[in-house]
């Protein structure tokens, strides 16, 4: 699984990264976490508003900070 966190480094982007990293560890997922901060690269991924979250090339969140429970659900859905 590849999880991409997209954002310039604002507090919401940092919070999303923290949530993802904690959950990947807690759920013992075999996941590569990639942080993308370059605006051109973010746009290339198809995300126009940050923070963004991509799991295995699918945009699952864009322009808002999801709850921890939502991120957990998204990660679990990606492995089934």
User: Which residues participate in catalysis according to the annotation?
Assistant: 10, 13
Q: Where do runs of H (alpha helix) occur along 1-80?
A: 11-26, 39-44, 68-78
Closest C-alpha to 32, from 7, 57, 59, 61: 57
């Amino acid at each position: 699984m590849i999880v991409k966190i997209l954002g310039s480094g604002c507090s919401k982007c940092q919070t999303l990264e923290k949530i993802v990293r904690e959950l990947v560890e807690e759920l013992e997922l075999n996941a590569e976490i990639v942080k993308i901060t370059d605006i051109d690269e973010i746009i290339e991924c198809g995300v126009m508003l940050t923070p963004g979250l991509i799991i295995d090339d699918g945009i699952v969140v864009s322009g808002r900070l999801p709850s921890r429970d939502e991120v957990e659900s998204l990660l679990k859905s990606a492995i089934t």
